[in-house]
């Protein structure tokens, strides 16, 4: 029997529903689409390669077990996966009782943070589309004023709360709140063309 | 708190950066405020993209195998020591399957989110009987899968209500004049027909089949097989089974 449609034609959310029905092949397809992004995120948060791989395995394991809970009205599959992976990565960093890599980098004013490697070459086998998306996201981050970008990086990659960020940067809490919202709104406006893809 | 301040909280909430004391009040507000809910949803999608800013690196080649091996070990649906959790899993499966079929249809129509939701609800209501059959206490399940090939058929056996619930994915519709037939297999006995069905043009099928007396006469049914037969079904399989699976008797 031949498959009705190749895996590439199956929307992300259908893959998740198939996972909920216990279809391992759907998990494999989802991994093929998102593992690099999830891995890059894990690596940015935890730093160590082995730790990042543990996070990726944990994240896809949790996605597999909780596939039936995925709600498309609450966001894209990519967003769901990265939310899971980020929580796992931050858990691991806290469990080890150390600061994440992004946290350390973002806290150093001299460092350009994650937006720094704008011109970094992508591995040749990486999908062109994904490379373009990655470049667009890095450009969007790089275009933020330094103060705003560091607030976002400390929160997103470092897992710090607003008052922790205020303490870290020695800034008033109100300033951190204002910067956080301003930065997110800019990112949303710039990245709108990418949002909702693969939902 | 004015509206502007709530939206500021929405940004921090989406980032998971809202301080402990502010989270509960904001969540209470969120329950009543569609605007803030929409704000959180779109900001979360934006944040999901931030992961791509991290320098791309290839995960180790063995990681995919590790993920899949772990998935085989911990199935979303499978042997569980207690009855309760398994039944929850069965319910989720039914919901997932129902929603999946609904949205597949929706895509073609390309309607809005509200229509999609209404369609999903309608579909769920229509499948209440399927769900009810899965939610009864004494349900057994079998998965039929060809190694490394796409079609999957899942059969639930609700012993209380004497029903089979059949769900098929990626099963191309049998050609004109042909049908699929399910067989119950037991040791030292000829295969007994469980029923016939066909999948839709989307390769899916969800149906209820009453358990026939012949199946019950087999005693312990060990496996289940799928063949393609002439319309109306055959008294015995006329071809090598396309799919075979052994029952997981989970409710013990």
Count of structural domains within chain B: 2
Give the pLDDT of residue B105.
44
Token pair belonging to A79: 């967003």
CB-closest option in A79, A120, A125 to B44: A79
Inside any domain, residue B172: yes
Distance between first and last Cα of chain B? 55
Give the pLDDT of residue B203.
82
Nearest of A179, A181, A166 to residue B7 by alpha carbon: A181
CA distance B197 to B232: 9
CA distance B200 to B180: 12
Inside any domain, residue A165: yes
From A174's Cα to the closest Cα of chain B, the distance in A is: 10
Q: What Rg value do the Cα atoms of chain A yield, rounded? A: 18
CB-closest option in B53, B67, B95 to A60: B67
Give the pLDDT of residue A188.
92
Examine the fold and report which residue of A38, A65, A98 is the final residue of a domain before the chain moves on: A98
pLDDT tens for the 252 residues of chain B, in order: 555 678 889 999 999 899 988 998 998 888 888 888 888 888 888 888 888 777 767 888 899 999 999 888 876 543 233 333 333 334 334 444 444 444 444 444 444 455 555 555 555 555 555 655 565 555 666 666 555 446 778 887 776 667 777 888 888 889 889 999 998 887 777 888 988 998 888 788 887 777 777 787 777 777 788 889 998 899 888 887 788 777 765 443
CATH code for the domain in which residue A164 is found? 1.10.10.10
Same domain (yes/no): B31, B83: no
Same domain (yes/no): B143, B244: yes
Could you tell me which chain B residue has the CA closest to the CA of A136?
B53
Same domain (yes/no): B78, B174: yes
CA distance B70 to A60: 10
Q: Which residues pair with B209 in a beta bridge?
A: B164
Same domain (yes/no): A40, A115: no
From A137's Cα to the closest Cα of chain B, the distance in A is: 5
Inside any domain, residue B61: no
Count of structural domains within chain A: 2
Same domain (yes/no): A105, A160: yes
Provide DSSP, B17-32.
-S-HHHHHHHHHHHHH
Same domain (yes/no): A88, A114: no
Give the pLDDT of residue A150.
92
pLDDT tens for the 199 residues of chain A, in order: 434 445 667 788 888 888 887 788 899 999 999 998 899 889 888 888 899 999 999 999 999 988 877 877 777 898 889 989 999 999 888 887 766 555 555 555 444 455 443 334 444 444 556 667 778 888 898 999 999 999 998 999 888 999 999 999 999 999 999 999 999 999 999 988 776 544 3
Examine the fold and report which residue of A98, A131, A162 is the final residue of a domain before the chain moves on: A98
Same domain (yes/no): A72, A153: no
Report the greatest alpha carbon distance in chain A.
Answer: 65
Could you tell me which chain A residue has the CA closest to the CA of B19?
A161
User: Above 0.85 for ipTM, yes or no?
Assistant: no
Same domain (yes/no): A123, A41: no
Give the pLDDT of residue A1.
40
Inside any domain, residue A27: yes
CA distances from B29 to A176, A182, B10, B41 (A): 22, 21, 10, 15
Same domain (yes/no): B20, B142: no
Inside any domain, residue B59: no
From A70's Cα to the closest Cα of chain B, the distance in A is: 9
- Domain with A121, as residue range(s), is 99-193
Same domain (yes/no): A119, A183: yes
Inside any domain, residue A49: yes
Inside any domain, residue B10: yes
- Domain with B7, as residue range(s), is 3-53
What is the residue whose two structure tokens read 């590790």?
Answer: B66
- Cβ of B75 within 8 Å of Cβ of A22? The answer is yes
Whole-model pTM? 0.56
Same domain (yes/no): B173, B217: yes
CA distance A44 to A93: 11
| CB < 8 Å to A133, chain B | 49, 52
Examine the fold and report which residue of A81, A98, A115 is the final residue of a domain before the chain moves on: A98
CATH code for the domain in which residue B208 is found? 2.60.40
Same domain (yes/no): A80, A118: no
| CB < 8 Å to B67, chain A | 27, 31, 56-57, 60-61, 64
- Cβ of A85 within 8 Å of Cβ of B59? The answer is no
Inside any domain, residue B238: yes
Give the pLDDT of residue A122.
43
For residue B231, give the DSSP letter: T
CB-closest option in B43, B75, B117 to A188: B43
Exposure string for B20-30, b = 16+ CB within 10 A, e = fewer: eebeeebeebb
Give the pLDDT of residue B85.
35
Same domain (yes/no): A90, A25: yes
CATH code for the domain in which residue A74 is found? 1.10.1740.10
CB-closest option in A17, A44, A141 to B99: A17
């Amino acid at each position: 029997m031949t498959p009705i449609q190749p895996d590439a034609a199956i929307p992300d959310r259908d893959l998740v529903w198939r996972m909920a029905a216990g279809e391992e092949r759907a998990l494999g397809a989802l991994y093929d689409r998102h593992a690099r992004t999830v891995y890059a995120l894990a690596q940015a948060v935890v730093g160590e390669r082995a730790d990042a791989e543990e996070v990726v395995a944990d994240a896809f394991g949790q996605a597999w077990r909780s596939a039936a809970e995925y709600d498309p009205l609450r966001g894209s599959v990519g967003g769901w996966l990265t939310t899971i992976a980020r929580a796992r990565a931050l858990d691991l960093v806290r469990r080890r009782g150390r600061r994440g890599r992004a946290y350390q980098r973002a806290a150093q004013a001299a460092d350009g943070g994650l937006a720094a490697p704008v011109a970094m070459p992508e591995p040749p086998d990486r999908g062109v589309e994904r490379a373009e998306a990655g470049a667009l996201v890095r450009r969007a981050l790089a275009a933020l004023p330094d103060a705003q970008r560091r607030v976002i990086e400390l929160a997103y990659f470092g897992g710090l709360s607003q008052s922790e960020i205020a303490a870290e940067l020695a800034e008033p809490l109100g300033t951190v709140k204002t910067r956080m919202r301003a930065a997110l709104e800019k990112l949303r406006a710039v990245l709108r063309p990418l949002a909702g893809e693969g939902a | 708190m004015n509206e502007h301040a709530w939206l500021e909280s929405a940004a921090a909430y989406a980032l998971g950066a809202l301080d402990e004391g502010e989270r509960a009040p904001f969540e209470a507000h969120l329950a009543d405020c569609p605007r803030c809910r929409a704000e959180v949803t779109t900001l979360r999608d934006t944040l999901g993209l931030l992961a791509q800013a991290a320098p791309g690196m290839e995960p180790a080649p063995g990681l995919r195998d590790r993920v899949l091996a772990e998935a085989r070990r911990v199935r979303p649906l499978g042997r569980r020591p207690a009855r309760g959790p398994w039944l929850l899993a069965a319910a989720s499966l039914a919901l997932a399957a129902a929603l999946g079929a609904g949205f597949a249809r929706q895509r073609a129509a390309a309607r809005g989110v509200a229509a999609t939701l209404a369609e999903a609800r309608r579909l769920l209501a229509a499948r209440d009987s399927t769900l009810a059959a899965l939610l009864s206490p004494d349900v057994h399940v079998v998965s039929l899968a060809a190694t490394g090939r796409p079609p999957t058929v899942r059969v639930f056996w609700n012993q209380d209500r004497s029903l089979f619930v059949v769900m098929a994915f990626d099963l191309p519709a049998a050609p004109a004049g042909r049908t699929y037939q399910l067989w119950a297999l037991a040791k030292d006995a000829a295969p007994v027909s469980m029923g016939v069905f066909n999948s839709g043009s989307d390769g899916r099928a969800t149906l209820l089949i009453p358990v026939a007396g012949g199946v019950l006469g087999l005693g312990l049914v060990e496996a289940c097989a799928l063949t393609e037969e002439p319309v109306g079904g055959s008294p015995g399989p006329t071809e090598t089974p396309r799919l075979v699976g052994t029952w997981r008797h989970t409710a013990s």
